[in-house]
Structure formats: C-alpha cells, structure tokens
C-alpha cells in the first residue's frame, strides 16, 4: 500500500483534533431554491385564561373589528390605561412547551390513529418536530439577525424531536433591566389589539377594559419543511369573520404596531428588519395578512395598513441589503436536519442545547436532567401509557 505523507488533512481520523459539529448561518450558504413547505393546516387550538390556565377550546379567540374607514384615521390612544388597567403576564415563569404538551397529551389518540382517520398515518408524530411557532420564527430570521442570539434545548422522545427555547443570559439581563419606556411600549402593542378586536363575532371593541397578557388563543398546526414533518403552535391575535377564505388558518389576522414612517430611510429599514420578522411569524402558520397600526410620537395610532404576508418580500426583492425567504427556509431546514442528526438517542432526560450568537455558527452541548431537561414527567408518563 502506498504510504501516506503527513500533509494537512491526510492524518488518520483518530489523530485529527476532535471537531465539534456546528452549523454555519451565513445567508450566502442558503440561497438555493425555496424548499418544499406544506400548506399549514390547523389540527386544533387551545386558550389560556386571565390566570394563564389552559382550556382545550377557543374561548380566548377574538374577532377582527377594525374601525370604520374615515378621512381622519383611527386616533387610538395606546397609552390609555397604562399602568392602572394592565395585568402583565409573570415573565419569571418559564412555561417551556407545557401548554402545547397539554394539548398533545389530550389529542395523542387522534395523532397516531390509522391513516384513513387522521390523514397523518401511524407514526406521524414519531417522525415530527414539535415546538412553538415563535421558536421557528427565530430560526427563520437567524441568517439575518445581528443583535440577539438564542438557545434551543432539544430532546427526542418516542421518536419525536421536541425543541424548547432557553432564555439566554443576555435576554434574561435585558428582561430584568427593561427600562420603563420599553415596558410601556410592550403594553401599547397589546392595547392596539384591544382597539381592533371584539370578544364576539360582529361585536365592537371595548377599550375601557383591562389589558391582561395572560390571555391567549393558540392555534396548533401541522406542516412540513422539506422532509421534516412539523407540529407547532402559535398565538393568534384574531379571526376575520369576513375573510375570503373563512377556514383557519386563512381567516386569522396578525396585528402589529410600528412607528410612523416619514423618510425613505425609515421605510427601508422597516422593510429590511421589521417586515422580515412579521413575514417569518405569519408565513409559518399560513396567516395571510398582517394589519399594522402606525403610531405617532405621542402614542396614538394615526393610520392602518394591511400587509399581505405573501407580498412582503416584494418590498426588499430589489434591495441588496434585504432578506430572502428562501434563505430563511433553507436555513431552518438545515437546522432541523442538523438537530435530527445530533439528537439520536431517545431519552426525555437527555438534552442537546443548541446555542447561537450573531456572527458565529450554531454550536451544541450535551446535558442531562436539570436545569435543561424540559419534558415534564406528567407528559412522559401519560404518553408512555
């Protein structure tokens, strides 16, 4: 046999320094054609009440009720009721996947039924990735994100890959030191929802009540990215009874607030950064429209504009500094493949922590039990029955 030299890269594998697996996030690596993404379909829903208690129904769903179009614009005062009529959710409680697991536990029979009944087939859940829509949104925007890193904990259980976000030390520090004006700004986003939604179909909004951010309506959806079946849940702001396509998720409307824009520079930056996040959040669950309220420096909404999710990319298509939906989706697919190849052992107590900071690749570390294990025993036990 021909003897081998000691040229770099020619050493036997055992003598090479051990390379930790990692995943690069450079947009240029993911610019191929748009991958397959199955039309999302709703499998079910649940609600969280004023006390953040779970209910397996749509009681928290609200109804889109925009103001009558007038020449003056809406003039909603987003600061009204702050802080006296504000019940913010306790952000020190880390809920992880718990509410979604509750829904899964209650529907486990339907998810693994015979294929002619469930239309998913036996073993569908075992091959799926289960997570929150918000976690997938962060994955989609990663190639373009320059400010905030993330950590995702992953465990495999009965075949299914579960992904649950872990608050980074930086995010925790920011939350604990959030300045008063940012607290008020958060309130204003929820206050806008109150001005735009009624509790009953055909009803009118009641801005005199409290803003309680414990309350949430969540849709549970099924989709597939490339060869990765997905089951994820996301909070939905409201449903439009007059939507051209009245079934969920196409009847859903996402509400957003943003600063009034005057200069071209302000618009450019809105299309580059904010619209990317809006697109990722609504594209994943198939929510067709985002209704934006633009607020003036005094905190009043002065105008409304509907952004169809599927048209958002048009605003950056010819912008060199813009974003590309294919890059977002290809990166997400690559991450799912990377995670599936990393999390091989089926063990709800074993956790792989995927960490990412802007400018670097996604790295992985391995952990067992506390503090990273996130699949609760009540869930593991119920699913093992």
Interface positions with ligand A3P (CB under 6 A): 186, 189-190, 192, 237, 256-257
Phi-psi region of 73 (alpha: psi -120 to 50; beta: other; left: phi over 0): left
Question: Tokens representing 338?
Answer: 């990377």
Q: How far is the CB of 353 from ligand A3P (least distance, A)?
A: 21
Give the span between the Cα atoms of 88 and 85, in whole angstroms: 10
Using CB under 5 A as the binding rule, whether residue 240 contacts Mg ion is answered as: no
> Cα–Cα distance between 109 and 113 in angstroms, integer?
6
Q: How far is the CB of 347 from ligand A3P (least distance, A)?
A: 32
Residue 80 or 237: the one with the smaller Cβ distance to Mg ion is 237
**Selected binder of Mg ion within 80, 145, 237, 240 (CB under 5 A):** 237
Please say which residue, 62 or 256, places its beta carbon nearer to ligand A3P: 256
Fill in the DSSP letter of residue 295.
E
Looking at beta carbons only, is 189 or 361 nearer to ligand A3P? 189
Q: Identify what 166 binds: Mg ion, ligand A3P, none; CB under 5 to 8 Å per kind.
A: none
Q: Which is nearer to Mg ion, 240 or 327 (CB)?
A: 240
Q: How far is the CB of 274 from ligand A3P (least distance, A)?
A: 9
Cα–Cα distance for residue pair 116/122, rounded to 1 Å: 10
For residue 154, the cross-strand partners are 163, 352
| Contact assessment for residue 35 and residue 225, using Cβ atoms and an 8 Å cutoff | yes
Under 8 Å between Cβ of 339 and 161? yes
190 binds, among Mg ion, ligand A3P, none (CB under 5 to 8 A by kind): ligand A3P
Q: Considering only residues 242-281, where is the footprint of Mg ion by CB under 5 A?
A: 255
Instruction: Output the smallest distance, CB 197 to ligand A3P, in A.
Output: 11
Binding to Mg ion (CB under 5 A): which residues in 62-121?
none
Listing DSSP states for 234-276 in one string gives: EE--EE-TT-SS-STTTTEEEEEEEE---SHHHHHHIIIIIHH
Residues that bind Mg ion (CB under 5 A): 235, 237, 255
């Amino acid at each position: 046999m021909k003897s081998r030299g000691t040229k770099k890269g020619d050493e036997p594998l055992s003598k090479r320094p051990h390379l930790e697996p990692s995943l690069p996030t450079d947009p240029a690596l993911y610019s191929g054609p748009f991958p397959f993404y199955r039309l999302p379909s709703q499998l079910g829903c649940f609600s969280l009440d004023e006390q953040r208690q779970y209910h397996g129904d749509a009681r928290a769903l609200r109804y889109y009720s925009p103001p009558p179009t007038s020449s003056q614009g809406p003039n909603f005062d987003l600061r009204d009721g702050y802080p006296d009529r504000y019940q913010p959710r306790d952000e020190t409680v880390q809920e992880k996947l718990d509410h979604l697991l509750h829904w899964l536990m209650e529907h486990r029979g339907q998810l693994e039924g015979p294929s002619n009944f469930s239309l998913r087939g036996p073993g569908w859940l075992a091959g799926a990735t289960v997570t929150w829509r918000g976690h997938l949104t962060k994955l989609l925007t990663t190639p373009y994100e320059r400010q905030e890193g993330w950590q995702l904990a992953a465990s495999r259980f009965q075949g299914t890959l579960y992904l649950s976000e872990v608050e980074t030390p930086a995010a925790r520090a920011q939350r604990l030191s959030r300045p008063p004006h940012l607290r008020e700004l958060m309130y204003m986003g929820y206050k806008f929802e109150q001005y735009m939604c009624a509790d009953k179909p055909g009803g009118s909004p009641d801005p005199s009540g409290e803003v309680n951010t414990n309350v949430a309506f969540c849709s549970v959806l099924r989709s597939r990215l490339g060869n990765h079946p997905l089951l994820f849940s996301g909070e939905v702001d409201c449903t439009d009874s007059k939507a051209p396509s009245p079934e969920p998720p196409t009847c859903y409307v996402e509400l957003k607030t943003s600063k009034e824009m005057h200069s071209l520079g302000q618009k450019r930056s809105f299309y580059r950064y904010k619209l990317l996040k809006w697109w990722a959040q609504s594209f994943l669950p198939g929510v067709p429209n985002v209704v934006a309220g633009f607020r003036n420096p005094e905190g009043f909404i002065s105008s409304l504009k509907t952004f169809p999710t599927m048209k958002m990319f048009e605003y950056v298509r010819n912008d060199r500094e813009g974003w590309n939906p294919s890059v977002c989706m290809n990166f997400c697919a690559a991450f799912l493949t990377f995670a599936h190849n990393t999390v091989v052992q089926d063990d709800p107590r074993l956790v792989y922590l995927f960490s990412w900071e802007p400018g670097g690749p996604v790295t992985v570390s391995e952990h067992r039990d506390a503090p990273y294990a996130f699949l609760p025993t009540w869930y593991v036990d119920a699913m093992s029955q």
